[in-house]
Structure 1
Amino acid sequence: MQIDSVIHLKSYEQIKLLLRRHAITFLPLIGIFIILLLMPIGVYFLINAIFPTFLTNTITYTLMVLFASIYYLSIYLFFYSYFVTFYLDLWIITNDRLVDIRQVTLFARTIAEIDLYQIQDISSDVSGFFPSLFNYGNVSIQTAGTIPKCILYNVPDPHHIRQVILELSAKDKDYHNK
């Protein structure tokens, strides 16, 4: 995804941060995917152990291969759609605004913009063992605009991001108060 095709930067605008969710937050889904991939193999060995002559029938064997193929295709499709949703969630922070791009489903995307001078409160939250270990968490932003609250979910180094947004917001407020 090219940034220029999603947002149009103003002449004075510069991208300061480009954020995605921390990669470690996708690992549980990869684990579930691997377990789901191994399940048909376990079922095959279980059926072969309990009913040794069951798979010798060509019709039964063909049906099992067909069901396994449909199962694997479905698993790949769900994994791909979750990966696309994970990867295409994006936050762009410029010196003038914050752009929140959310891939809701495979074919649905929402884009919201927050002017930095409208930010009233910003907080960062790192809670839990793995978030503390890998330094990721949420950044919550309260605004006076049409979008009252924006949350950057599972971003890396949330305390640094909060500090950068606070500094950019202060500069933007000074610019707009002139």
Structure 2
Amino acid sequence: MAFSFFPAFFDRPRKVRFVDQEPGEQIELLLRQHWFTNLSWVLAAVFAALLPVLLPALKIFELFTLPFALPGDVTFALSLLWYMLIMAYVLEKFLFWYFNIYLVTDQRLIDVVSHTLLSRDTTTVFLSEVQSARAKVRGVGGLIFNYGDVIIETAARQQSIEFLGVPKPDLVADRIHDLRRLKGFLKPGEDK
């Protein structure tokens, strides 16, 4: 099952560039977290949107009565505020997912974490610093939908970099290994 609107796995994207891209540097993989990792907040938003409809049907309001009736304008304003908060929550979660990306180039690995629209952290590890890359698939969802974490151990001061919840983690780890071999960073007989 693949969604073409916002894919999470780009293999050698041609029309993608990034700010610090060196001349001649090619992007091998552009990754986001798998769509399945968004399921918890999507279901929470759907439940919150249905809550105003479900509560009267369950007759919970009969237990708590107000000494006065709310005017229609106030009820409408509260409903509008409720749905605006849900939309803000959905927009924030979507933008967080969309702008948190992982790049694998022919020279380095880049992890971009957006905290807000105005704040982001970028971690860069050169292929020459990579010691190993291994895939870790967890849970039934990871097994069924083929997503997991890629843990990259480095020789640099930062011990590791992690690509969390990415599609096809085995392929990503293999691609990093192949790039290291292609660039001559693997010693003879060195395994993944």
Query: If the length of structure 1 is used for normalisation, what is the TM-score?
Result: 0.84
* Corresponding residue for residue 13 of structure 1: 25
Once residues 95 and 49 of structure 1 are traced to their aligned partners in structure 2, the CA distance between those partners, rounded to angstroms, is 61
Runs of 5+ unmatched residues, structure 2: 1-14, 187-192
User: Any conservation in 1 of the 2:55–2:61 contact (CA below 8 Å)?
Assistant: no
Distance 1:106 1:45, change over 3 A: farther
Partners of 2:57 and 2:79 in 1: CA distance: 13
Aligned partner of 2:144 in structure 1 is 133
Give unmatched runs, 5+ long, in structure 1.
none
Matched, 1:32 2:72: no
Q: For residues 48-77 of structure 1, give each alpha carbon's deviation from its aligned partner in whole angstroms, at most 9, with x where no partner exists.
A: 9839xx8x95x5332222111111111110
Flag the 1:48–1:153 CA change in 2: closer, same or farther, 3 A: closer
Residue 40 to residue 107, structure 1, CA distance change in 2 (3 Å): farther
The match for 1:112 is 123
The offset of 1:120, in angstroms, is 1.2
- Give the whole-Å Cα distance in 2 for the aligned partners of 1:32 and 1:113: 34
1:43 aligns with 2:31: no
Deviation at 1:146, TM superposition (A): 3.7
Structure 1 vs Structure 2: percent identity of aligned residues? 24
Q: Could you say if the C-alpha distance between residues 169 and 41 of structure 1 is closer, same or farther in structure 2, counting changes exceeding 3 Å?
A: same
Give the structure 1 partner of residue 7 of structure 2: none
Structural RMSD (CA) = 2.6
Q: CA deviation at 1:96?
A: 0.4
Distance change in 2, residues 1:62/1:137 (3 Å):
same
Aligned equivalents of 1:155, 1:49: Cα separation in 2: 44
CA contact (8 A) 1:116 1:173 kept: no
Q: 1:107 to 1:8 in 2, by over 3 A?
A: closer
